[in-house]
Amino acid sequence: MSRNREQDVAGAILPKITRSSVNGWPVAAVFLVLALVLYGCSPTGKSPARASADSTVVIALLGDANYLNPVIGASVTSSNVYGLIYPGLLQSEFDEESGLLNFLAAEQSLMPRDEESVGTRELPSAVAKRWKMSEDNRSLTYILRDDVTWNDGVPLTASDYRFTYRLYAHPVIASPRQQYLAELVGAQQGAIDFERAIEVPDDTTLVFRFHKPVSERLALFHTSLAPLPKHVWEGVAPEEFRQSPLNQNPLGAGPYRLQEWKKQQSLLLSSNPGCRLPKPGTIPNILFRIVPDYTVRLAQLQTGAVDVVENIKPEDFAGLEEASADVEIKASGLRVYDYIGWSNIDQAAYHRDGTIRPHPLFGSAAVRRALTFAIDRQSIIDGYLGNYGVICNTDISPSLRWAYHEGLEPYPYDPERAAGILAREGWLPGPDGILRKDGRPFSFVLFTNAGNARRNFASVIIQQNLREIGIDCRLEVQESNVFFENLRLRKLDAWMAGWSIGLEIDPLDGWGSDLEKSRFNFTGYRNPRIDELCNLAKEKLEAQDARPYWIEYQEILHRDQPTTFLYWIKETQGFNRRIQGEEVNILSTFYNIDDWTLDPARTVAQ
């Protein structure tokens, strides 16, 4: 039974009360009286609130957006919202077939679009009409549409882009997207030379120049950051940039505009009638509601109070089905994986004087392989993720098909083989059953962060698995801030965490041999061939040409097991069935939200 949108808010209560038995519970009686009073208060006749429910899609969010500004907006929530408000230079698409990003301008696309993947989206939402990469891959010229205006009627021109790129680069503004500017002329010396790096010959021509040859895909990716309206932001000093009220009341040109923002409660967007990118949003209103508690989000999805809830846990699918809620679960690609990190190096020695020597427990690749053999990854998947988990071999996702190594055999669960390898490495059972080598027991603490049910589930199985081959693993949960700081400072010997991968493969930060530079190489793994391969791959101007390097890369990681890769997680989103035309995508749940429609027939009583 889903909440009835046909009747007005309080009116919906009455028939249900008379139907249910009150059982003499005094509290219920109080409710009854209250409900009747409320019923009397509510306006009769056809309610405008109902009409508004029919034209509004409600999306539940865990937390609020912060800055509605593409330069400084940092959270995914913020970018989901400002992405609908600000005009994109290009539209990016994920090509399922190859696993590569495709970029579209109004009249051009990087890769041909096959009819099926186009879906409902015929016209791309892009300010650029077309682009031209120079022969030497050192400059990129865009031709912009001349008919796009900001919501105040001022035309959107190439100068807006150049103006905004200066803001992206400004150190006081501290944009989290500075990395996108790393190829522009002058960036190699530390300061971008904007006179040469970005040129605007006329209002519809925009030229980017790079200090080295850049692949066309990367160039398009890095030059298509969203612009701010120059005429509005010009007067804002960099020191004041983050405090500007314009961040809370943005002037955009996209398919939606901000209607009302009640901080920490809700954020209402309404379709922007003047939008030509390519058209105003189809659903008149999008309401983001902040509902911090997961159980409540789930309950509201069931009752129809909200239409979209992200990251539904697999354990709740059955419940949703049983309640015969009008909800559809959709899964997107594999972007997130969990792993157990083993410190490859002796962290204490490294912190003391920078010497690098193998970790007494996890220093040997053979031991790490044995640990992977010992852990029953399939059981964790079967027990928690079901069809929404896939065994993970390395950090290159199976969704990135152009680079993924199909031929790697996952290590099976084989405790005997694990014990055999450990025995050869000198780890033999002691009197208490715990493995020992040179008197040192194989005993350690596995750390993880608080509040992740999936990791809690996995860690218990892992502890049990290791126990069976004589390894003593204690579990410790730390508050997230503390955990990540310890991880960053390389203070932990063994831990369980996860990564969400970028769609461009650039893993040197996580595995590079220079431990000072590779900030995310928490394990201290060092293999010069990995550095080489990453750099070779980066030099290729066509992504597919780098495939051989990535294949070798995956083979090495699989062999060395710097961490035990556990499983990829399919993120699952719940949609009310009254939403039509939604396409869930590895890029985002809301990838084509401006094309969604609401089916009023489904909102009427079922």
Partner 1 sequence: MLIYILRRLLVAIPLVFGVLTLTFFIIRLAPGDPAAFYIQPGISPNVAEQIREQYGLNDPVYIQYFKWLASILQGDFGRSFSRAQQPVLEVIASALPITVTIAVLTLIANFLLGIAIGVISAVKQNSVLDRVMTVGALFFYSMPEFWFALMMIILFALKLQWFPASGLNEVGAEFLGPIGFLADRIWHLVLPVTVLSINGAAGIARYVRGSMLEVIRQDYIRTARAKGLAEKTVVLKHALRNALLPVITLVGGSLPFIFSGALFIEVIFAFPGMGRVTVDAIFARDYPLIIANTFISGTLIILGNLVADVLYAVVDPRIKL
Positions 486 through 525 that interact with partner 1 (CB under 8 A): 486, 488, 502, 506, 509-510, 519-520
Considering only residues 181 through 200, tell me which ones interact with partner 1, judged by CB under 8 A: 182
Which residues, in sequence order, are bridge partners of residue 131? 142
Among 6, 11, 36, 42, binds partner 1 (CB under 8 A): 42
CA separation for the pair 443, 346 (Å, rounded): 15
Tokens 């290009």 sit at which residue?
Answer: 90
Segment contacting partner 1 (CB under 8 A): 293-301, 330-338, 356-364, 533-541? 293-301
Segment contacting partner 1 (CB under 8 A): 7-15, 223-231, 276-284, 375-383? 7-15
Cβ distance 410 to 393 under 8 Å?
A: yes
Cβ distance 139 to 213 under 8 Å?
A: no
Contacts of residue 129, defined as CB under 8 A and 6 or more positions apart, other chains included, come to: 105, 106, 107, 108, 143, 144, 145, 204
Nearer to partner 1, 236 or 466 (CB): 236
**73-77: which pairs have CB atoms within 8 A and are 24 or more residues apart?**
74/176, 77/288
36 forms part of the interface with partner 1 (CB under 8 A): no
Return phi, psi of residue 11, to 5°: -60, -30
Nearer to partner 1, 460 or 482 (CB): 482
Segment contacting partner 1 (CB under 8 A): 1-9, 223-231, 410-418, 578-586? 1-9
Among 172, 428, 460, 605, binds partner 1 (CB under 8 A): 172
CB atoms within 10 A of CB 107: 13
DSSP reduced 3-state for 282: coil
Contacts with partner 1, 264-283, as mask; x by CB under 8 A = xxx-----------------
Segment contacting partner 1 (CB under 8 A): 83-91, 178-186, 346-354, 531-539? 178-186
Cβ distance 549 to 403 under 8 Å?
A: no
Among 201, 273, 274, 292, binds partner 1 (CB under 8 A): 292
CA 295, 483, 505, 66: dihedral to nearest 10 degrees? 60
Nearer to partner 1, 49 or 475 (CB): 49
Using alpha carbons only, give the angle 309, 315, 321 rounded to the nearest 5 degrees. Answer: 70
Cβ distance 401 to 95 under 8 Å?
A: no
Residue 520 CB, shortest distance to partner 1, in Å, is 6
129 forms part of the interface with partner 1 (CB under 8 A): no
Nearer to partner 1, 52 or 544 (CB): 52
Nearer to partner 1, 102 or 300 (CB): 300
CA separation for the pair 156, 206 (Å, rounded): 12
Nearer to partner 1, 10 or 277 (CB): 10
Contacts with partner 1, 210-249, as mask; x by CB under 8 A = --------------------------------xx---xx-
Among 18, 23, 27, 409, binds partner 1 (CB under 8 A): 27
Tokens 């594999």 sit at which residue?
Answer: 334
Nearer to partner 1, 169 or 345 (CB): 169
DSSP reduced 3-state for 23: coil
Nearer to partner 1, 128 or 327 (CB): 327
Q: How long, in residues, is the chain?
A: 606
Q: Say which DSSP state 580 is in.
A: E
Nearer to partner 1, 43 or 426 (CB): 43
Count the residues of the shown chain that bind partner 1, applying the rule CB under 8 A: 76
Return phi, psi of residue 52, to 5°: -70, -30
Q: Which amino acid is at 521?
A: N
Which residues in 373-514 belong to E strands, given as ranges?
A: 389-391, 428-429, 435-437, 440-441, 443-449, 472-478, 494-500
Among 6, 11, 35, 204, binds partner 1 (CB under 8 A): 35
Among 23, 295, 352, 432, binds partner 1 (CB under 8 A): 295
DSSP reduced 3-state for 601: helix
386 forms part of the interface with partner 1 (CB under 8 A): no
Segment contacting partner 1 (CB under 8 A): 47-55, 193-201, 460-468, 561-569? 47-55
Among 29, 97, 179, 321, binds partner 1 (CB under 8 A): 179
Nearer to partner 1, 17 or 148 (CB): 17
Tokens of 409: 């055999």
603 forms part of the interface with partner 1 (CB under 8 A): no
Segment contacting partner 1 (CB under 8 A): 40-48, 122-130, 144-152, 453-461? 40-48
Segment contacting partner 1 (CB under 8 A): 16-24, 195-203, 403-411, 460-468? 16-24
278 cis-preceded (ω within 30 degrees of 0): yes
Nearer to partner 1, 264 or 387 (CB): 264
CA separation for the pair 385, 382 (Å, rounded): 6
Tokens of 564: 């035990």
H or E stretch covering 327? strand 327-342
DSSP reduced 3-state for 266: strand
Closest to 120 measured CA to CA, from 279, 333, 327: 279
Residue 576 CB, shortest distance to partner 1, in Å, is 13
436 forms part of the interface with partner 1 (CB under 8 A): no
Among 104, 144, 206, 287, binds partner 1 (CB under 8 A): 287
CA separation for the pair 181, 505 (Å, rounded): 17
Contacts with partner 1, 321-350, as mask; x by CB under 8 A = --x---------------------------
Among 296, 331, 461, 541, binds partner 1 (CB under 8 A): 296
* Per-residue CA distances from 498 to 340, 380, 505, 567 (Å): 8, 15, 17, 10
Residue 365 CB, shortest distance to partner 1, in Å, is 24
Considering only residues 445 through 484, tell me which ones interact with partner 1, judged by CB under 8 A: 480-482, 484
Considering only residues 50 through 109, tell me which ones interact with partner 1, judged by CB under 8 A: 50-53, 56, 58, 63, 66-67, 74
Residue 428 CB, shortest distance to partner 1, in Å, is 38
Nearer to partner 1, 92 or 364 (CB): 92
Contacts of residue 12, defined as CB under 8 A and 6 or more positions apart, other chains included, come to: 3, 4
CA separation for the pair 32, 37 (Å, rounded): 9
